[in-house]
A and B are shown apart, each in its own frame.
Chain A
Amino acid sequence: MPCLAIDRRLIGLAVALLLAPRLAEACVFLEDQVADGAAAETTTTSAATAVAPPAAPPAPLTAQQLDFDLLEKPPAGIQVDLAAVNRRRTMLNVHQAVGLGMFAVALANTIVGQLNYSDRFANGPSSGKYELTHTLTASATLLAFAGTGLLALLAPTPIPKEGSGIDRLTVHKISMATAAAGMLAETVLGIYTAKREGHLNQPDFAAAHLAIGYVTFAAISLGVGVIVF
């Protein structure tokens, strides 16, 4: 059946002619896609080569490996001696009360000390009427200061202080250390000044005693102020 055979070839040729433009467009599209994919693969491979070698595919985790804690273990708790904490609280409460009393006595002592200096050395009547009071207030201030300091120094510290830097307590401690040095100097200088009675240089020692006294009281005031205010 040649006619039938011709017809089949003709039909095939016609179909081919009809589809030819579509095939050409498809080929162009496929060629573009292949070119873009090759470029992207080349870039990715270069980057991977720069960071790390390509990793092998992960092995499946075993059940033992999957048995882990999601959160970190908490740090070991601090062993606190509650009796020591209570003792510290009591001692520091007493320290505060005695310290405020000491501040009052120190203020009175400073006032009386200035009155005594003015009476004795600053062209005053030199009656000596503030000497006994100044001796008493100075002794009371010294005792109260020593007691207040011992209460703080001997208080237990069951919880160690964390952190560093300058805070109120640090300023308080520095101020009171300065005041302690001033107290010591005032005691020695005060006794020596009294022993220089009748000597020409007694007013000079008295002036030094007065100046150190003001510095000492300023240190006490700063130390109290940073805690109270």
Chain B
Amino acid sequence: MIRETDHALPRLAAAAIAALCLAALAGCIPNDGPAMRPGEDCISCHGGSTGTTTGGRGGHHASPAWSVAGTVFQASDLASGYEGAEVQITDANGWTFSMRTNEAGNFYSAESPTFPLHVCINANGAVTCQQSAITSGQGGCNSCHSARGSVGAPLSVH
């Protein structure tokens, strides 16, 4: 006797294979994702509720607001982001939190620390801290740490 569910078994196997193929094909780095536009001034678009960004899927759309954001590059290759560096922020109230740079070297936070901030970068155990405090409105690190910024060079670590 053949049950109707006997026909379902090969269908289930085919469905599972299709799912694996679909999953294998998945994955495309979005133009407006966490790795977008390394080295640019993030806060110019992600500075508040009025910020917009031009996404890879076309058109302008609202961007989440960051309080602090920037990019860490490799000192040996300023065109390559440094992945895995820990950016530590300590605000005026002594609250400390950290962010981890992604594969593009980008880091960002939507938390609301109290300015001025003190920033240190821990790259493979080597900690580098900024001498001056970051005042309100300077949460976009790349606005100064770029070739066109006041520092004249991007933020980089060895």
Residues in chain A within 8 A of chain B (CB atoms):
96-97, 100-101, 103-108, 111-112, 115, 120, 123, 125-134, 137, 196-200, 224, 227-229
A209 to B84, CA, bound (A): 24
Is B23 in contact with A103, judged by CB distance below 8 angstroms?
Answer: no
Name the distance in Å between A155's Cβ and chain B's nearest Cβ. Answer: 15
Contacting pair A105 B103 (CB below 8 A): no
Q: Which residues of B contact A120 (CB under 8 A)?
A: 34
Given contacts A97-B11, A100-B8, A100-B12, whether A197 and B64 have CB atoms under 8 Å apart is yes
The segment out of B24-32, B70-78, B120-128, B148-156 that lies at the interface is: B24-32
Contact with A along B26-60 (1 / 0, CB 8 A): 11111001110000000000000000000000000
Q: A128-B34, A228-B5 are in contact. Are A198 and B102 (CB under 8 A)?
A: no
By size class, the interface of chain B is: 35 or more
Contact of B108 among A103, A105, A115, A198 (CB under 8 A): A198
| A228, B20: Cβ atoms closer than 8 Å | no
Interface contact B30-A200, CB-CB below 8 Å: no
A100 and B9 CA atoms in complex are apart in Å by 10
Q: Which residues of A contact B102 (CB under 8 A)?
A: 125-127
Contact A115 B26 (CB under 8 A): yes
Q: Are B19 and A107 in contact (CB under 8 A)?
A: yes
On whether the beta carbons of B8 and A96 are closer than 8 Å, the reply is yes
In the bound complex, CA of A29 to CA of B136 (Å) = 136
Given contacts A198-B111, A200-B97, contact A127 B34 (CB under 8 A): yes
Q: What's the least CB distance linking B157 to chain A, in Å?
A: 17
Q: List 18 A-B contacts (CB under 8 A).
A: A100-B12, A103-B16, A104-B14, A104-B16, A108-B22, A111-B20, A115-B26, A123-B84, A126-B103, A127-B104, A128-B30, A130-B26, A133-B26, A133-B27, A137-B26, A198-B108, A228-B8, A228-B9
B30 near A125 with CB under 8 A, answer no
Q: How far is the CA of A126 from the CA of B84 in the complex (A)?
A: 10
| Docked complex Cα distance between A131 and B83 (Å) | 19
Q: Which residues of A contact B23 (CB under 8 A)?
A: 107-108, 111-112, 115
Q: Is the interface of A mostly helix, strand, loop or mixed?
A: helix
Query: In the assembly, what is the distance between CA of A227 and CA of B11, in Å?
Result: 13
Q: Is B100 an interface residue (CB 8 A)?
A: yes
Say yes or no: is B109 at the interface (Cβ < 8 Å to chain A). yes
A60 to chain B, nearest CB (A): 56
The answer to whether A127 and B111 touch across the interface, beta carbons within 8 angstroms, is no
Max chain B CB contacts within 10 Å: which of A107, A134, A197, A198?
A198
Q: How far is the CA of A229 from the CA of B28 in the complex (A)?
A: 37
Contacts A100-B12, A108-B19, A199-B110 hold; do A126 and B34 have CB atoms under 8 A apart? yes
